[in-house]
Amino acid sequence: MGKRILSVVLGAVAAVVIVALTELLAGTLYPLGGELDSADAETTAAIMAGMPLPAKLLVVLAWFLGALGGAWLALRISDWRWAGWIVAVLVVAGGISAIVMLPHPLWMQVCAVVVPLLGGRIAARIHRKPYPGEPLLG
């Protein structure tokens, strides 16, 4: 049981680090045109709307890579399939919290849920160990 908990915790930490580094890259390549202030919703909405598409795609990529890397690490540590899904759902929760705090276009709202789950699914497929006689990608 301890190994499973540790795997989820370390997978979640890895996911946060991956998301943060990828979003840092997005912020470096495409700096925001102003200061995000949650008290001024109108200005924040204008800044988010003015964010270039590649920057938005990097945020979506961050959600995917965070879920993929974190879920894979959790699976690698514990070999317990639910560990990867727990990490992927935690990334979904992080994406939803970002959407609640800052306005995002509808397609990003959908991606905040779908893309981390896709990353978790791919991590499970990468990690999956076949039964004897079963093909790996079958």
Domain ranges within the chain, ordered by starting residue: 2-127
Instruction: Say what the pLDDT of residue 62 is.
Output: 97
pTM: 0.85
User: CA 104 → CA 18, 59, 64, 65, distances in Å?
Assistant: 21, 11, 17, 19
Contact 114, 61 (CB under 8 A): no
Average pLDDT over residues 48-56: 86
Whether 102 and 44 have beta carbons less than 8 Å apart is answered as yes
2-14 pLDDT per residue, tens: 899 999 999 999 9
Residue 112 CA neighbour count, 13 Å, CB half: 17
Structure tokens at 64: 């995917």
For the cut 70, the answer to whether the pLDDT of residue 38 exceeds it is no
Give the whole-angstrom CA distance, residue 14 versus residue 47.
Answer: 29
Does residue 134 carry a pLDDT above 90? no
Q: Is the pLDDT of residue 131 over 50?
A: no
